[in-house]
Amino acid sequence: MHMRFSIPLGGRSRYKDVIEPLERVSVNLIPTSKQTIKDFGPPKEIAETLHEVDGKTYYQFEFTAQARNYTRHALGIITVFNGKFYTLTTGANERRWEKMKDRLHTVVDSFKITV
């Protein structure tokens, strides 16, 4: 799966599966005074993993969210570049997690700011 997001002026872009609505990818762009993601704190306090790509630092995390009728298993990655806080979040219903997790990890692992 290869996606390229163009962030509209409102700062949010989303891809959603029509059949499985809990399987989606969203990218948000939020203005910030931070210069780098490291300004938010050390990775152990913020996220599970830290990695560098093309001189930019990214924090990656995984979590589950329990709702009344389902559990959503999600992955996310965040960074700061050029005065903007970027977040990408993707996930699936917990019952489909084993089938989707490799694809969703690929989406998160491929996220990079190319501006």
- Per-residue pLDDT tens digits for 12-44: 555 555 566 666 777 777 788 888 888 887 767
48 vs 84, higher pLDDT: 84
pLDDT for the residue 1: 38
DSSP tag of 36: S
Task: Tell me which H or E stretch contains 97.
Answer: helix 97-110
Side chain identity at residue 39, one-letter code: D
Alpha-carbon radius of gyration of the chain: 14
pLDDT for the residue 14: 53
Residue with tokens 């996606």: 3
Distance from C-alpha of 83 to C-alpha of 96, rounded to nearest angstrom: 36
Q: Do the beta carbons of residue 81 and residue 87 sit within 8 Å? A: no
The dihedral formed by the CA atoms of 23, 25, 30 and 32, expressed in degrees to the nearest 10: 100
